[in-house]
Amino acid sequence: MTNNRNSDISPELRAGPIGLRDAIDLWGPDLSKWPDIAQLRHAREALLSDRGFRAYRDGALAADRQLKAAADALDERIAAKGSVARIADGVLSRIEPRKSRHYSRYAAVAAVLVVAGVLGGASEWIRGGPADGSVTVVQLDPLVFGPSEMGF
């Protein structure tokens, strides 16, 4: 039976390890990187008193060193062969450059002004003017209420 009690939980919400071997698997064999001080003290005592735990920790430390050496060798090989540059060049060669259309912003501002004018005129025409002949002027800034709200 596999124990996946912490597999779907983020590291900040993960429950602490049950034993010292679980702590090594969770936080690594470098005790200076352990966040739980109580577990750290217990692990340091166990390193001096328990040979089985010491061997388990030494095995995990050796595995970490081997993985780091393999990762460093792989990074050097990737850098020497220029793989990243080749992939980036290949991707960039397939991407077609798009022309920037700055005039679309001006067209959006013009459209907002036209629509505002048409709506103002239509509402006045439909509603009709006031009976006493007075005029009420409301001015809305189309740059504030228009394209800026839509992300143009």
**pLDDT tens digits, residue range 80-131?**
888 888 888 888 888 887 776 777 788 888 999 999 988 888 877 777 666 6
Domains in the chain: boundaries = 20-94, 103-150
Does residue 140 contact residue 119 with C-beta atoms inside 8 Å? no
How much is the pLDDT for 115? 92
Residue 35 has pLDDT above 50, yes or no: yes
How much is the mean pLDDT over the chain? 79
Its pTM surpasses 0.75: no
How much is the pLDDT for 57? 93
- Measured at the CA of 54, the angle between CA 52 and CA 40, to 5 degrees, comes to 120
